[in-house]
Amino acid sequence: ACGLNVPNLLVVACKCRRRGTSRRHVGAPAALLWRMGCFYGPCYGPCASLCPADPSSCEVHLISSASPESSSWSMRFEDFLTDDFAYDYLLRFATAEHSSENVLLLRQADEFFVSGQASDELKHSLMTVGLPGKTRRRLSDWVSSDGDGVAFPVGAPPADVVSEAFRLCYKVVRHDVFPRFVQSEHHREMGALHLSHMLRNAGFRAAFLPTLAPRERELAEFWHAASAWREQHTSLASGWASEQTIEEAKAVWARHAAAARALDAAADAARMLDARLFEGPSDLFCEMQVIALNQLRAPYEHFLATPPGAAMLKASGFKRMPMPPSPPPAAAPLDRRPSDLCVRPSGAADDYDYAAGW
């Protein structure tokens, strides 16, 4: 209810039915700062029937998940920006199409508006994405005034330049890259292997959970318990959750709150969940589930690379797409002309052919 489809540089004030409590963000693109991906997209229909505890039965579900109908996962663009596993597949697809700088800048700009700190990666992306002439001149003036032509400028770029770059990259990715991505093999593989699908499989949980550390295992159990609670969610005619549903939500949170609160990234989400717990809306655990999945991404990727994970994929006839090479670290900028940000070696003459070798 609080997300905006068009990003703007504005003040976002969200009430979220919390009876007077609000969350306020100043100067951040709204589409990224309030995009609580709920991961209840079309893929949850085909994935609703769980396989029995026999791990060998996972093959049927993996094979069926490779079809376009069952691997749709979510069609909301904002979900892919929020979820680390899905974002990685979107980035891999964009890298194959030589447009990764647009996808990278979306998250880099989000981190900049949240923390106020500009990373070298953000500065590099700003210098590589296509910007209109006026914005490019503003960026050029900042590079000339705050840099020495050898290293990245020390200070942060102008906020309006970052916001304009974000707006343009958002439009490119949302309306050009993303529609082609959802028709690609990258999207089908992501939908089949996403943890929001796999954790619903009892056989997969039996193989995966023992490989986790105790805190990670509790996060996986929380995600599954929260999903089961949402599927059984009951609302009254007034729209409010039933008393039994609210009590069950309190029980789920009481069992897993300690593990969730231990995450640095979950502090705000935990406070919001506490404030909404007495209402028990169907999306009560949504943001916390996203955080839990992001925390489980690294051990999940490791599991898929182990012999049991590889054997599970092989038995299912599922072969992962090869990983692209890691991108090189952001290189320090060379000296730049203030007029057009043409790249040339430091100290070179003004007639340096910056397009040589293109």
pLDDT of residue 103: 94
CB atoms within 10 A of CB 130: 12
Q: Phi, psi (5° rounding) for residue 20?
A: 100, -20
Q: Are residues 171 and 223 in the same domain?
A: no
Residue 9 DSSP SS3: strand
pLDDT of residue 61: 37
Angle value at C-alpha 116, between 115 and 121, nearest 5 degrees: 85
pLDDT of residue 59: 38
Residue 99 DSSP SS3: coil
Q: What is each CA distance from 49 to 46, 53, 200, 221, 317, in whole angstroms?
A: 7, 13, 8, 18, 20
pLDDT of residue 86: 94
Reported residue count of the chain is: 358
pLDDT of residue 91: 94
Task: Tell which of 184, 215, 230 closes a domain.
Answer: 184
Q: 95: domain range?
A: 77-184
pLDDT of residue 329: 56
Residue 196 CA to residue 185 CA, distance in Å, equals 19
106: nearest Cα among 143, 123, 81, 137: 81
125: nearest Cα among 327, 319, 348: 327
**Amino acid letter for position 77:** F
CB 285 within 8 A of CB 266: no
Q: Does residue 32 lie in a domain region?
A: no
Task: Work out how many domains the chain is built from and give that number.
Answer: 2
Residue 181 CA to residue 183 CA, distance in Å, equals 5
Q: Are residues 122 and 203 in the same domain?
A: no
pLDDT of residue 21: 35
pLDDT of residue 303: 95
Q: Are residues 158 and 121 in the same domain?
A: yes
Q: Which DSSP category does 289 fall into?
A: H
128: domain CATH number is 1.10.167.10
Which pTM was predicted?
0.71
Q: List per-block mean pLDDT (blocks of 10 residues) for the chain, which spans 358 residues.
A: 38 35 36 37 33 35 36 71 93 91 93 89 90 88 71 83 94 94 92 91 91 94 95 91 95 94 90 94 94 95 91 80 63 47 45 53
CB 160 within 8 A of CB 109: no
Q: Are residues 166 and 101 in the same domain?
A: yes
